[in-house]
Amino acid sequence: MPKVTAARESVLYRPANTLLDSRRTGVPLKDLPEEQRPVSEEESFFVQDVMMKAYGDIGGWKIGARGPEAVPFFAPMPLYTVGENGSLFRGPLHRLHGAEAEIAFRIGRDLPPIGTPYSRDEVVAAIGSCHPAIEIIESAFVQPLEVPREWMFADMQMHGGFVAGPPITNWQQIDWAKERVTLLVDGSVRVENEGSNPGGTDLVRLLVYLANEGAKRTGGLKEGQFVTTGSWTGVTWATAGASVIAKFEHAGEAALTFASAHRD
């Protein structure tokens, strides 16, 4: 992965501050000033890491891939965006009310950088639990799906919040290629899919990548952190006051509610 030069680093603090200000105030951006635009994924990841320093503690990581064999990409999830199952989400950040059904893992013991790659078995042994989950999709941009991918990546990969449902007791026995998922908004089915994660149904592959190649950015995975492994439903746009449920056939369900506008 090409390094971001020192000269570019000094420039990339500016879009980090711009995106942070938009997220804090709830005033979305049409675009980024030309001189602040990241031009590669490496620059986008640098912006993410600067933003994360402002957010403080890390609650976990979101990781995905464009295909089952593609190189994964990931972003931090600030601890304050991680809620309990059934949580109410409110505040200026929650403007778009996007939701995705996902499968997440909770790390059961630290996986610090050790200089040599962890084996798949070692990563699996460090998993504390596996959960159905919902990731909230939010953005600093007015039209987040219309801006360049590098901007979306810089903007925390559109992360806005996260909840995990109860632990799945038999997750290693589930055939993820055949697992069905339903996403409901206010009780109405919005999406139904089967084995539909774009990054493939070998979910552990993504954790192994994060524990090894990802360690240069993460500093290692920590006990208690969640790792959510990509959308099974694509983003579904809800509204203020809506309740969202992600229901998997064998993996259980997770739920959250967005505050009504008058309660923000």
Asked whether residue 126 is domain-assigned, the answer is yes
Asked whether residue 32 is domain-assigned, the answer is no
Nearest residue to 216 (alpha-carbon basis) of 74, 82, 19: 74
pLDDT at 244: 98
Asked whether residue 49 is domain-assigned, the answer is no
CATH number at residue 246: 3.90.850.10
Domain count, the chain: 1
Asked whether residue 15 is domain-assigned, the answer is no
Asked whether residue 155 is domain-assigned, the answer is yes
Note if the pTM is more than 0.85: yes
- Range of the structural domain that residue 137 is part of: 57-263
pLDDT at 91: 84
Asked whether residue 178 is domain-assigned, the answer is yes
Asked whether residue 1 is domain-assigned, the answer is no
Q: Spell out the per-residue pLDDT of the chain, length 264, in tens.
A: 567 888 888 999 999 999 999 999 999 999 999 989 999 999 999 999 999 999 999 999 999 999 999 999 999 999 999 999 999 999 888 999 999 999 999 999 999 999 999 999 999 999 999 999 999 999 999 999 999 999 999 999 999 999 999 999 999 999 999 999 999 999 999 999 999 999 999 999 999 999 999 999 999 999 999 999 999 999 999 999 999 999 999 999 999 999 997 544
Q: What are the phi and psi torsion angles at 146 (to 5°)?
A: -110, -5
Asked whether residue 78 is domain-assigned, the answer is yes
pLDDT at 2: 62
